[in-house]
Amino acid sequence: MRHSYFKLLLIIFVFTGLGGCGKKEKTVEVPDIRPVKTFVIMDSQYLGDRNFPGVIGAVQHAQVSFRVPGKLYKIHVKEGDIVEKGDVLAELDPTDFQVALNDKKATFDRTKADFTRGTELVKDGFISKTQYDKMKADYASAKSLLNQAKNDLKYTKLKASFSGVIGKRYVQNHEEIQAKQEIFNLNDISQLEVKIHVPEHLVRMTDEATADFKVFATFPNSSSTNFPLSLKEIAKTADPQTQTFEITFVMPQPDELSLLPGMTTSVVVQIGKKSSQAGSVFLLPLSAVKGAADLSPTVFVVDPESSTVQARTVKVADMTGSKIKVIEGINIGERVVTAGIAFLREGQKVTVLPEVEQADPATAP
């Protein structure tokens, strides 16, 4: 009985093995589909935004000082005060200046009287022409000294030469002040300057006049989106430390903000191609361009119908930071691969990864 059981198992094993020998193992071909990051080419008239930190200053500012030396007698304003043109900011002790004026006035009166009498005497021949000329010279000198004394007394009052805000006070009351010593920093904040530092290639774009710029300042605590800036001047010498160029813009004082010199802002530079410029210009990330076998620059464009990529030879120009300017070979609306192009081949199927954020558009510099 036991012998028959093992014989049955042997027969089942043999027939099972024979059945398997006649079949070939099937190989499942997995299509080579590569996920890729892409972006869609946008309007070629727009080359992107650049953000720069900016520092605010006053268009008109001055270090206010007395024209004469003396002891500081009164200070009428403090830092942050808004003043009008002609307002008295501080005064020197006028005592010594008043004494000097009185002395010069007495000398003037005497010389004037001598000159008046001498004018009659010289006509009648009672004094010589030389004596008369000396009286005339003494009178003119006394008059000049009197006018100077009057001005010195007037200069003991320090007045605002224009309307603005007191930015800084450099002295304390009762100090001995020297002529031309800085007393206040006065800023006209009705018009403001905004200074930024930009790299060399951006300055070249302005010199070549191939790009159109829109510039505005933004402030985190403002309900307005932006404040337009007007170009004032561009430095033609680079900073020796940063190798950047200083650009100065101007803007009116916003009604909703109180901006003061020394405050900071974020300056947005929108770069667009001038409408008269022929052709399309796009700025692509360097990762979107590779060299073909003949070293010609190439990009991969996604065919939306077949979900395959086609290699496209392009014509490039200069680089801008981490991007390269493409002037021929791609068109608005096409989807270009931005990462992993070294592993792609002509006609390869791809799957486009979802665009979480268009952080690197084709038109961004």
pLDDT at 113 over 70: yes
| Cα–Cα nearest to 328, from 337, 315, 319, 317 | 315
Tens digit of each residue's pLDDT (9 = 90 or more) over 117-141: 999 898 888 899 999 999 999 999 9
Count of the separate structural domains present in the chain: 3
DSSP 228-287: E-EEEEE-SS--TTT--EEEEEEEEPPSS----TT-EEEEEEEEEE-TTS-S--EEEEGG
In a domain, 78, yes or no: no
pLDDT of residue 269: 84
pLDDT at 92 over 90: yes
pLDDT at 78 over 70: yes
In a domain, 346, yes or no: yes
pLDDT of residue 207: 57
pLDDT at 254 over 50: yes
Mean pLDDT over the full length of the chain: 82
In a domain, 77, yes or no: no
pLDDT of residue 123: 87
What mean pLDDT comes out for the span 148-155? 96
User: Between 347 and 2, whose confidence is greater?
Assistant: 347
Least confident of 18-22, 41-45, 278-282, 307-311: 18-22
Least confident of 67-76, 331-340, 353-362: 353-362
Q: Is 264 within 8 Å of 312 (Cβ atoms)?
A: no
pLDDT at 278 over 60: no
In a domain, 221, yes or no: yes
Least confident of 9-23, 205-219, 221-235, 290-304: 9-23
Non-local (6+) Cβ contacts of 259 within 8 A are: 56, 189, 192, 219, 253
Tens digit of each residue's pLDDT (9 = 90 or more) over 162-218: 999 999 999 999 999 999 999 999 999 889 999 999 888 777 766 554 556 788 898
pLDDT of residue 358: 40
What's the domain range around 304? 34-44+279-352
Q: Report which residue type is found at 21.
A: C
Tell me, yes or no, whether 192 and 250 share the same domain: yes
Instruction: State which H helix or E strand residue 220 sits in.
Output: none
Question: How distant, in Å, are the alpha carbons of 56, 282, 333 from that of 40?
Answer: 38, 11, 6
pLDDT of residue 205: 67
pLDDT at 56 over 60: yes
Grade residue 274 by pLDDT with cuts at 50, 70 and 90.
low
Question: How distant, in Å, are the alpha carbons of 46, 245, 315 from that of 203?
Answer: 18, 7, 24
Tens digit of each residue's pLDDT (9 = 90 or more) over 332-351: 878 899 888 888 888 999 98
pLDDT of residue 329: 86
**Residue 255, number of CB atoms within 10 A of its CB:** 7
**Looking at the DSSP assignment, which residues form a beta bridge with residue 290?**
298
Least confident of 172-176, 271-275, 292-296: 271-275
Tell me, yes or no, whether 123 and 196 share the same domain: no
Tell me, yes or no, whether 149 and 118 share the same domain: yes
CATH number of the domain bearing residue 203: 2.40.30.170
Tell me, yes or no, whether 244 and 292 share the same domain: no
CATH number of the domain bearing residue 304: 2.40.420.20
pLDDT of residue 280: 65
| Cα–Cα nearest to 335, from 304, 364, 291 | 304
Tell me, yes or no, whether 245 and 284 share the same domain: no
pLDDT of residue 206: 64
pLDDT of residue 276: 44
Tell me, yes or no, whether 269 and 300 share the same domain: no
Tell me, yes or no, whether 296 and 249 share the same domain: no
| Cα–Cα nearest to 97, from 173, 46, 148 | 148
**Residue 283, number of CB atoms within 10 A of its CB:** 24
User: Between 209 and 239, whose confidence is greater?
Assistant: 239
